[in-house]
Structure 1
Amino acid sequence: MSCLYKILGVAKTANKIEIKQAYRKLAVQLHPDKHTQSPPRTRAAAVEKFKQITNAYEILVDDRKRAAYDLRSNQSESRQHNRQERSNAGQSRQNNRGGDTKSSAEGAQSRGGYTKSSPDGGGEAKSPNAAQSRQRHHLKLRAAAALRHLRRVCVEFLRFTVQVIVETVVRAAVEMLIRLMLEILIQLIKAIFQPSSKHNDEKKKK
């Protein structure tokens, strides 16, 4: 799946205004009506591209859909990063094994080919240590990847929470302002019509 931000040509930190501007600019260029006279391949490519930018816009302009997409995207990037780290670690282990084999062969040649192990097993003591070192290194890589993923999830959650809080506060402020304006209007109407009603009552009494 292509990155929606790349489809619209905006950064991942772009706000709604920037996303709308980018979408409108691309929509003007890629709208099917502008390619009615174009060759079939060009027209088909423009239609497909127009569908892609429309889908990207509908997701990124909606706060909930965008947060869900960012979360899935971050998880996918984290998995790819973990696979790359495992691949690099495996390549490093293979290189280390190749270097150890070469060193052992050179040492055997320098000793005239005599490779008998020592009676106390000292020659075999390095293998468990190397395995433990590789295991610790692998655990460190996994812990670092998990921390990066957790940090990204926390950032996305905080951003979504802040957006919800801001929208709620703004909505409450607008409702309060409307109520206040209505109360003021009611008071003004009462102030306008009450004196006339009092004047009519005085006339009736006279």
Structure 2
Amino acid sequence: MSSELKGKKIAILATDGFEQAELIDPRKALNNAGATTVVISPKAGEIKGWNKKDWGQAVKVDLALADANPHDYDALVLPGGVMNPDHLRMDPAAVNFVRQFVSTGKTVAAICHGPWTLLEAGALKGKTVTSWPSLKTDIKNAGGNWVDQAVVTDGQFIFSRKPDDIPAFNKAIIESVSHGVHEHAHA
């Protein structure tokens, strides 16, 4: 266990239908790097993962979205899975949380379908983004530049396409948060 992220708090915003590997694996990597991860959801109790083609394991919700303050965290992770971001982008409180978090200039990492919520928050205009390929047109229509790469970093944002990209995604998040690139960004 390393301590690169010691003292850092990382929010993971998700709800039922998150792609299991895209929440579990980054969470493990961030915890192993010394961070405290907090699963935030509009739903109390636990949320159910989606594992490739069927329901997967449940994850305990650490904090209700209604009680979450974007300013309490050093980074925000948005896992994919089709259902999860589709529900979140229809939830004004979730979109507002994401919009407020983006305005802090701190690291925001989204994988697979995760950028959908950022798109809804109006955060992708002029950004270079990767995602699950089906989001390509949505991202272009929102003024983003879609590319097909394992990991893309654009300012405070980190994007990846799919579960295979998770190792690169995790590495990019850890580097971004430990170097505090966002602290030099001007609002």
Give the shorter-chain TM-score range. under 0.3
- Structure with greater proportional helix content: 1
- Structure with greater proportional strand content: 2
Q: Taking structure 2 as the reference length, what is the TM-score of the superposition? A: 0.20
Q: Taking structure 1 as the reference length, what is the TM-score of the superposition? A: 0.18
